[in-house]
Structure 1
Amino acid sequence: MSLTTLAINCTLKPSPNDSSCGLLLSRTMELFNQAGAPGEIIRAVDYTIKPGVTADEGEDDDWPALRDKVLEADILLLGTPIWLGHPSSECQRVLERLDAMLSDKDEGGRMLTFGRVAAVAVVGNEDGAHHVAAELFQALNDVGYTIPASATAYWVGEAMQAVDFKDLPKTPDKTQGAMEVLVNNCVHLAKLLKQGQYPEVK
């Protein structure tokens, strides 16, 4: 069974700047490739994602093309750094544009995201990974995604220090283990949902 994964890096740094969030996503995507669910990573800040909550906000809006990529993927991996204890502004913008999924339905009355799986990756050098993941999971579930067990991979460094994930010589064992569980559970659940879609909405 073929599966595809789309990772969205919500760093505030445009390409080609180094991104700790991008590094965590790339290492997680390597595991998705090995698990038979390959895909790509896009950096949200490199695109013009206009403010709004519709599928298309008009001229120069890059979201419609990105939305197509989102809907083509069986698994969505949303990555964000922690800023001021919250997801980045780019991540919030992506969530706001995903909000349009609430009104898009298939022939069975289901949201177009039903049957698709979402996971989260978080980096920062302050506490708050669980809080950020909770915010993202609630939003992703609201717009129709299914959340697997243990679908968060994160790394946070010591508070009030300048060490970032990209500064580490290797991925810490606990983070590596979380990435592996995330990938395995996402692929497992995505296969099950592909074999048996949710019931039609009456």
Structure 2
Amino acid sequence: MRAVVINCTLKASPEPSNTGALAGEVVKALEERGVTVDTVRAADLNLPPGVRTDMGPGDDWPRVHEMLLDAEILVVASPTWAGHPSSFAQRVIERMDAMISETDGDGRPVAYDRVAGVVCTGNEDGAHHVISEITGALGDFGYTIPAQAWTYWNKGPGPGDDYLDTDEGHGWAAKTGRAMAANLVTVAEALAAHPLQAPPE
């Protein structure tokens, strides 16, 4: 089983990413369950705006799209900015929109039988809003969202330490991340054994 983690931090590599650090807890839990995990950082890629899988020369999204099709699990990791997903998370969602009209050989949306979850970090309130926005879009595309398929770390409203600056709340976020990984794998295995049917005509 394979998973793709898309880190939607605003920071390009090699700058440390708080969101990537928490996502790493989920990666570790997935790998402990035998899942092969590939991680990409959206800020390192050239992702032109648009809602097509391939926007032309220089577009890095087709490579990510192929990774998504090769994986049963997707994790979108985003910081909270002004109570919303990051601009990179929104760009990823916009580029994934093309998957709605892409079908497999049985006429099913290509995202069928794949599961998805969300990792969120931030110093301000809004984690549940970020999670709901991202999972809502992924569900539209055809992904199955298992129960409790998320984890987050939130310092609370206003300024404060970043995830990497404090140990506060790490235990809960990591434990929730392990539950997230377990639920993603369990539902992915269930879908492999009992695939979704093509939508009715």
- TM-score, reference length from structure 1: 0.96
Q: How many residues align?
A: 200
Counterpart of 2:98 in structure 1 is 100
Deviation at 1:38, TM superposition (A): 2.2
Percent of matched pairs sharing the same residue: 40
- Structure 2 residue 118 is matched with structure 1 residue 120: yes
Counterpart of 1:176 in structure 2 is 174
- Structure 2 residue 186 is matched with structure 1 residue 188: yes
C-alpha separation in 1, matches of 2:40 and 2:82:
23
CA RMSD of aligned residues (A): 1.1
Q: Which runs of 4+ in 1 moved over 4 A?
A: none
Q: Secondary structure at the match of 1:48?
A: coil
Counterpart of 1:156 in structure 2 is 154
8 Å CA contact retained: 1:26, 1:41: no
Which one-letter code corresponds to 1:35 in the other structure?
R
Counterpart of 2:137 in structure 1 is 139
Deviation at 1:158, TM superposition (A): 3.0
| Counterpart mapping for 1:1-202 below 5 A | 3-169=1-167, 172-202=170-200
Which one-letter code corresponds to 2:35 in the other structure?
A
Q: Secondary structure at the match of 1:122?
A: strand
Unaligned runs of 5+ in 2: none
Unaligned runs of 5+ in 1: none
- TM-score, reference length from structure 2: 0.96
Deviation at 1:144, TM superposition (A): 0.5
C-alpha separation in 2, matches of 1:99 and 1:141:
11
Q: Secondary structure at the match of 1:97?
A: helix
Q: 1:163 to 1:170 in 2, by over 3 A?
A: closer
Deviation readout 1:36-92 (Å, 9 max, x if unpaired): 112121100100011000010001101001100111111000000001110000000
Deviation at 1:171, TM superposition (A): 5.9
Q: Secondary structure at the match of 1:41?
A: strand
8 Å CA contact retained: 2:153, 2:169: no
8 Å CA contact retained: 1:122, 1:155: yes
Deviation at 1:30, TM superposition (A): 0.6
